[in-house]
């Protein structure tokens, strides 16, 4: 235990040490339970919620903790302990340790969760998406595997349009609803090429299901392109990135956190989103700090 | 009856306004507001029935966004809670995913150019399912998806379907018939005295018989003394018959007549006890999904015999999904035990009539996922040692796709 965790800053340092940007909501912990094959969520009730009154908070603070957990996820629910009546430091450290255990386990099993066909896992993530809650904590992220372009990065170019193009993706229900609402009748979404269809599906996800922030979003886009056998650095991939970057600049996906804390120099640095900077982040596996050239390397 | 000479637009507008007034919230924009509005509307004293098939259809399509699909083919098959549904119509309720929207389609068998009166009854009957059974239908939709999260749930459902399903089916069909009957023959028509314009010699039974004939679209009778005597006799005969239990497999007329003479003593919903039993099994009605709060971890017990969901062998799956059908089909995992999960997939919308030719997507994955061929999914499920739950397009969805109507 590194001292007193009663201040916001010390709690924040303690909790972000593990470097897990994913907000641990109940649904995400249930997804983790499935891949880890053991119940975990009850630990929060047993080790935190039930102990708050004995640790110095009245029962009402336990209810507050539950509300924060539901609204903001586990990290922020514990972070708010700084605003509670003084709590037993041993209890607070225990809560931080539990968060760390769950967050570490989540990071360890992330690939399984991401690649799963298991509806028990996917239903939880789907539920989170429907709540529009895919945003991450703005903290240094674990590095992604660097993506090395196979030759020079191509210029963005829209593929040739085909009047008979048959859609290859399931239509986004909310997008259809909005299109029907605007046209006052059902409207078929038509595309001339796969790149346009995929770009609209990606944008619809960001609009209706939440934007995970520039740190993570372009890695998600790259992974989706690769799933569809589209080279992120080819002309089609670059075309999709360019369209999404333009929409991001127009705040089609809403506002987002531009500032990231750098694990290298400890300062916050601003993400300037452009096709060039997105490509550089994909090649490096993360966004680099302009000051020190470091990026979110994890401690511990 | 709605005013003769009124334009269809006027009839639709009045019907819409009357339904909104009947709703507790004063609106029918939300799907959840509509069942209660429909039930209150048909029970309203002084209401004259709207008998225009086209107007009701337009209300559903243009204002309630419920597609009404007309077909000359058979539209039904075995229903998953037991029994066979009639082949004249269908109120299809499909949940696209666990927490997303509910898709409703009404299918009516017939050709509106020649069979409008028969189709009106069918349409109102299906609307009766919406009025009385939306929650049950949504629940069955949710259960299909819950079986993917918790395959062992099938055991209890198989038992319920076998023991109680046929009774539940009979009750829900009667409720839908009763709704159609109440729509076309309002209860307030049958007061103490003979209504004005009808011969005094017409008895209460004769009046009911006359109303039923009109509701079923029979040619109007000149109400001569002999005709009135005939109606009175026929009505008396129907009353006598209605004192006996309704025989299974009765005709539409026989069911309607039985209900017309019995409806005052029936307490709706008739299926309340059976639905409560069903709710006990599934843990709660509507879209209740306890597996979201408590994931089922670990393998379940032995599969039931007979199973609840229809099984299909992997090499027969392609042919099975091309058949018209309303219920999912399971490509079961190998062995006598339940797998840990079943993968739910459905084909992408397409004008192509055969689902086996289409790409299929996982129902819980984001819309950006790569859709795969049916064979690829079968291989993927086999590798994981789990079941694959196929949600082929319903005949309604296929009809919409062939007409280029967009849908999720």
| A vs B: CB pairs below 8 A | 121
Q: Is the pLDDT of residue B76 over 60?
A: no
Distance from CA of A222 to the nearest CA of B (A): 12
Mutation pick from A45, A123, A134 vs chain B, by most beta carbons of B within 10 Å, is A123
Closest residue of B to A179, CA-based?
B406
Q: What is the pLDDT of residues B164-181, one digit of tens each?
A: 998 998 899 999 999 999
Residues of chain A in contact with residue B104, where contact means CB-CB under 8 angstroms, are: none
Task: Note whether B364 contacts A180, CB cutoff 8 Å.
Answer: no
CB B206 within 8 A of CB B232: yes
Q: What is the pLDDT of residue A142?
A: 80
3-state secondary structure string across A147-160: CCCCCCCCCCCCCC
* Chain B contact present for A154, CB below 8 A: no
Taking residue A78's Cβ as centre, other Cβ atoms within 10 Å add up to 24
pLDDT attached to residue B328: 93
CA B343, chain centre distance (Å): 26
Q: Which two tokens stand for residue B33?
A: 């507001």
pLDDT of residue A3 exceeding 90, the answer is: no
| Interchain proximity A117–B98, CB inside 8 Å | no
Q: Which among B98, B149, B368 has the least Cβ separation from residue A198?
A: B368
- Mean pLDDT is lowest, of A264-278, A285-299, B50-64, B358-372, for A285-299
Distance CA B287, CA B272 (A): 18
- Pick B364 or A290 by higher pLDDT: B364
pLDDT tops 90 at residue B296? yes
Residue A298 confidence (pLDDT): 41
Q: Which residues of B touch A118 (CB under 8 A)?
A: 340-341, 343, 386
* pLDDT at residue A134, as a whole number: 64
Supply the pLDDT for residue A2.
46
- Tell if the CB–CB gap between B291 and A120 is shorter than 8 Å: yes
Report pLDDT for A228.
97
Q: What pLDDT, on a 0 to 100 scale, did the predictor assign at position A34?
A: 97
Please determine, for residue B133, whether its predicted confidence score (pLDDT) is greater than 90.
yes
Nearest one of B238, B268, B270, B233 to B253, comparing CA atoms: B238
| Measured CA distances, B204 to B112, B210, B237, B260 (Å) | 33, 10, 13, 12
User: Contact, B80 vs B136, CB < 8 A?
Assistant: no
pTM, 2 dp: 0.91
CB contact under 8 A, B366 and A117: no
Strand partners, B94: B103
B249 by Cβ neighbours in 10 Å (0-12 / 13-18 / 19+) ranks as exposed
Helix count and strand count (H, E) for chain B: 13, 8
Average the pLDDT over B25-30 and give the result: 85
Lowest mean pLDDT among A122-136, A231-245, B164-178: A122-136
Q: Which of A133-137, B189-193, B296-300 is modeled with the greatest confidence?
A: B296-300
A126 CB within 8 Å of a chain B CB:
yes
> Phi-psi region for residue B23, left (φ > 0), alpha (ψ -120 to 50) or beta?
beta
CB neighbours (10 Å) of residue B316? Answer: 12
- Other beta carbons within 10 angstroms of residue B350's beta carbon come to 17
A212: contact with B, CB 8 A cutoff:
no
Q: If you measure CA to CA, which chain A residue comes closest to B363?
A: A119
Q: Are B369 and A33 in contact (CB < 8 Å)?
A: no
In three-state secondary structure terms, B104 is strand
Closest residue by Cα to residue B128 from B112, B106, B101: B106
* pLDDT value at residue A139: 80
pLDDT of residue A296 exceeding 50, the answer is yes
Question: How large is the average pLDDT for residues A27-44?
Answer: 97
Contacting residues of B for A168, CB less than 8 Å apart: 348, 359, 371
The answer, yes or no, to whether residue A157 has pLDDT greater than 70, is yes
Quick check: A70 contacting B, CB < 8 Å?
A: no
Look up tokens 């006996």; give the residue: B244
- Relative to beta strand B342-347, strand B387-390 is parallel
More confident residue, A12 or A186: A12
Predicted complex: ipTM over 0.85:
yes
Ramachandran assignment for B286, one of left (phi > 0), alpha (psi -120 to 50 degrees), beta (any other): left
Please judge whether B297 and A38 are an interchain contact, meaning their C-beta atoms are less than 8 angstroms apart. yes
Chain B touched by A228 (CB under 8 Å): yes
On chain A, the residues whose CB falls within 8 A of the CB of B368 are: 169, 198, 201-202, 205, 224
The mean per-residue pLDDT over the stretch B362-383 comes to: 96
> How high does pLDDT run on average in chain B?
89
- Rounded Cα gap, residues B327 and B311, in angstroms: 11
- Please write the tens of the pLDDT for every residue from B224-265: 899 999 999 999 999 999 999 998 888 889 999 999 999 999
Question: Which H helix or E strand runs over A261?
Answer: strand A259-261
B365 → closest Cβ in A122, A124, A187: A122
Chain segment B189-232, per-residue pLDDT in tens: 887 666 777 888 999 999 999 999 989 887 777 888 999 999 99
Q: What is the dihedral of CA A87, A92, A95, A101, to 10 degrees?
A: 180
Interface test mutation site (partner A, options B64, B144, B295, B384, max chain A beta carbons within 10 A): B295
Q: What is the pLDDT of residue B79?
A: 54
Q: How far apart are CA A221 and CA A212, in angstroms?
A: 11
Looking at the partner chain, which of A125, A166, A172 has a beta carbon nearest the beta carbon of B367?
A172
Region A247-273: mean pLDDT is 86
- Other residues' Cβ atoms within 10 Å of the Cβ of residue A287: 25
- The residue in chain B having the minimum alpha-carbon distance to the alpha carbon of residue A25 is B293
- Tell me how far apart the alpha carbons of residues B125 and B131 are, in angstroms, rounded to a whole number: 10
* Tens digits of residue pLDDT in A189-199: 899 999 999 99
Burial (CB < 10 A; 0-12, 13-18, 19+), residue A299, is: exposed
| pLDDT band per the 50, 70, 90 thresholds, residue A4 | low
> What one-character-per-residue DSSP string does B276-291 give?
HHHHHHHTSSTT--GG
Between B293, B297, B406, which is nearest A186 by CB?
Answer: B406
The CA-CA-CA angle for residues B86, B87, B90, to 5°, reads 80
* C-beta of residue A116 within 8 angstroms of C-beta of residue A33: no
Cβ neighbours of A26 in B, within 8 Å? 293
- DSSP letter for B380, please: H
Mutation to test the A interface, candidates B292, B340, B368, most A Cβ within 10 Å:
B368
For A119, the closest of B96, B344, B367 (CB atoms) is B344
- The residues near A170 (Cβ < 8 Å, ≥ 6 apart) are B348, B349, B361, B367, B369, B371, B408
pLDDT value for A189:
87
Task: Say how far apart CA A247 and CA A238 lie, in whole Å.
Answer: 14
User: What pLDDT is attached to residue A136?
Assistant: 82
State the pLDDT at residue B116.
85
């Amino acid at each position: 235990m590194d001292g007193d965790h009663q201040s916001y800053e010390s709690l924040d340092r303690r909790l972000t040490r593990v470097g897990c940007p994913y907000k641990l909501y109940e649904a995400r912990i249930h997804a983790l339970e499935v891949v880890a094959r053991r119940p975990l969520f009850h630990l929060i009730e047993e080790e935190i919620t039930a102990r708050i009154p004995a640790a110095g908070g009245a029962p009402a603070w336990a209810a507050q903790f539950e509300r924060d957990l539901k609204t903001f996820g586990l990290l922020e629910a514990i972070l708010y302990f700084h605003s509670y009546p003084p709590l037993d430091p041993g209890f607070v450290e225990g809560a931080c340790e539990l968060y760390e255990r769950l967050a570490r386990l989540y990071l360890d099993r992330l690939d399984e969760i991401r690649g799963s066909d298991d509806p028990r896992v996917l239903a939880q993530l789907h539920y989170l998406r429907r709540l529009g809650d895919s945003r991450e904590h703005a903290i240094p992220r674990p590095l992604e595997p660097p993506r090395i372009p196979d030759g020079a990065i191509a210029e963005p170019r829209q593929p040739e349009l085909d009047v008979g193009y048959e859609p290859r993706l399931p239509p986004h229900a909310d997008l259809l609803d909005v299109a029907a609402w605007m046209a006052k009748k059902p409207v078929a979404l038509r595309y001339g090429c796969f790149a346009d269809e995929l770009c609209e599906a990606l944008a619809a996800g960001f609009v209706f299901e939440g934007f995970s922030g520039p740190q993570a979003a372009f890695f998600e886009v790259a992974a989706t392109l690769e799933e569809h056998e589209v080279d992120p650095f080819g002309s089609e991939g670059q075309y999709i990135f360019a369209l999404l970057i333009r929409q991001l600049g127009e705040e089609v996906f809403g506002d987002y956190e531009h500032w990231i804390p750098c694990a290298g120099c400890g300062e916050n640095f601003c993400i300037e989103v452009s096709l060039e900077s997105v490509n550089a982040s994909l090649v490096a596996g993360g966004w680099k700090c302009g000051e020190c050239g470091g990026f979110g390397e994890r401690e511990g | 009856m709605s005013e003769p000479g009124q334009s269809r637009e006027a009839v639709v507008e009045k019907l819409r306004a009357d339904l909104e007034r009947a709703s507790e919230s004063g609106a029918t924009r939300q799907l959840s507001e509509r069942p209660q509005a429909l039930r209150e509307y048909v029970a309203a004293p002084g209401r004259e029935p709207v008998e225009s098939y086209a107007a009701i259809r337009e209300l559903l399509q243009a204002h309630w966004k419920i597609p009404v699909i007309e077909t000359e083919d058979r539209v039904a098959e075995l229903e998953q809670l037991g029994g066979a549904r009639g082949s004249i119509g269908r109120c299809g309720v499909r949940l696209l995913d666990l927490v997303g929207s509910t898709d409703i389609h009404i299918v009516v068998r017939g050709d509106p150019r020649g069979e409008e009166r028969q189709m009106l009854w069918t349409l109102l009957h299906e609307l009766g399912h919406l009025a009385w059974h939306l929650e049950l239908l949504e629940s069955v939709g949710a259960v299909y998806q819950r079986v993917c999260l918790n395959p062992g749930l099938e055991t209890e459902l198989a038992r319920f379907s076998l023991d109680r399903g046929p009774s539940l089916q009979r009750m829900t069909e009667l409720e839908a018939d009763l709704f159609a009957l109440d729509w076309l023959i309002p209860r307030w028509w049958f007061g103490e005295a003979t209504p004005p314009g009808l011969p005094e010699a017409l008895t209460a039974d004769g009046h009911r018989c006359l109303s039923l004939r009109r509701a079923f679209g029979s040619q109007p009778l000149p109400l001569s003394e002999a005709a009135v005597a005939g109606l009175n006799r026929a009505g008396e005969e129907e009353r006598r018959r209605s004192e006996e239990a309704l025989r299974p497999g009765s005709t539409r007329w026989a069911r309607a007549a039985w209900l017309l003479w019995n409806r005052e003593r029936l307490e709706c919903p008739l299926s309340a006890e059976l639905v409560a039993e069903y709710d006990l099994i599934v843990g709660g009605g509507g879209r209740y999904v306890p597996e979201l709060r408590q994931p089922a971890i670990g393998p379940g017990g032995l599969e039931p015999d007979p199973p609840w969901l229809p099984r299909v062998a992997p090499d027969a799956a392609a042919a099975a999904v091309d058949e018209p059908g309303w219920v999912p089909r399971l490509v079961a995992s190998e062995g006598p035990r339940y797998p840990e999960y079943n993968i739910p997939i459905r084909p992408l919308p397409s004008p192509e009539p055969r689902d086996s030719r289409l790409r299929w997507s996982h129902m819980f994955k984001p819309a950006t996922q790569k859709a795969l061929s049916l064979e690829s999914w079968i291989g993927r499920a086999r590798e994981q040692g789990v079941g694959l739950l196929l949600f082929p397009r319903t005949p309604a969805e296929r009809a919409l796709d062939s007409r280029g109507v967009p849908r999720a």
